[in-house]
Structure 1
Amino acid sequence: MLEIKSIDKPDERRDFPRGHLELVQMTGLVFARATFEPGWRWTESLRDIAGTDLCQVHHNGYVVEGRIRIRMEDGSEQEGGPGDAFVVTPGHDAWVVGDEPCVVFDFAGGMDAYAKAAGS
C-alpha cells in the first residue's frame, strides 16, 4: 500500500474560537495541522465543544512555529516551541504563549475527535 495526501488540501477543516484544524484521513492515520491564534486556550476555546473540563485527546505532535504551554491535570507543565516534538496524554489544558500564532502537526490519531461536539 502507498498513500500520499497533502495537508495543504485537507479532507476536512474545523474552525473554532481563535483557531482551526485541518485534517487528512489516511489508512491507519489521521494527520492534522492545528493553527492556534494568540489568546487561544483550550479551556476557553474548546471546553464547551468537547464537553469536558480538560482535553481528553492523546497527542503526538511537532511544533512548527510559535509557542505552546501545556499543563497536565496533576499541575505539571512544559512549554514547546519550533522544532519540539511532544507526547501529551489525556487530561490537559494548553495555550498559546506570546503574540504569534502557534502551528502544530499532530499524528496521534485521536485528532479525528478533536474540536468536534461531544457525541458527534
Structure 2
Amino acid sequence: MLEIKSIDKPDERRDFPKGHLEVLQMTGLVFARATFEPGWRWTESLRDIAGTELCEVHHNGYIVQGRLRVRMRDGGEQEGGPGDAFVVTPGHDAWVVGDEACVVFDFAGGMDEYAKAG
C-alpha cells in the first residue's frame, strides 16, 4: 500500500476562534496541521466546542513555527518552539506565546475529533 496526500489540499478544515485545523484522513493515520493565532488559548477557544474542562486529546506533534506553552492538569508546564517534537497526554491547556502564529503538525490520531462539537 502507498498513500500520499498534500496537507495543502486537506480532506477537511475546521475553523475555531483564533485558529484552524486542516486534516488528512489516511489509512492508519490522521494527520493534521493546526494554526493557532496570537492570543489563542485552548480553554478560551475550544473548551466550549469540546465540552470538557481541559483538552482530552493525546498529541504527538512537531512545531513548525511560533511558540506554544502547555500546562498539564497536575501543574507541569513546558514551552516548545520551531523544531521541537512533543508528546502531550490528555488533560492539558495550551496557548500561543508571543505575537507570532504557532503552526503545529499533529499525527497522534486523536485529531479526527479535535475541534468538533463534543
TM-score normalised to the size of structure 1? Answer: 0.98
Deviations 1:68-102 (A, max 9, x none): 00000000000000000000000000000000000
Q: CA deviation at 1:66?
A: 0.1
* Match runs of 1:1-120 below 5 Å: 1-118=1-118
Number of residues of Structure 1 aligned to a counterpart in Structure 2:
118
Q: CA deviation at 1:29?
A: 0.2
Which ranges of structure 1 fall in alignment gaps of 5 or more residues? none
Name the aligned partner's letter for residue 110 of structure 2: G
Which ranges of structure 2 fall in alignment gaps of 5 or more residues? none
Q: CA deviation at 1:115?
A: 0.1
TM-score normalised to the size of structure 2? Answer: 1.00
In structure 2, distance between residues paired with 1:98 and 1:25: 31
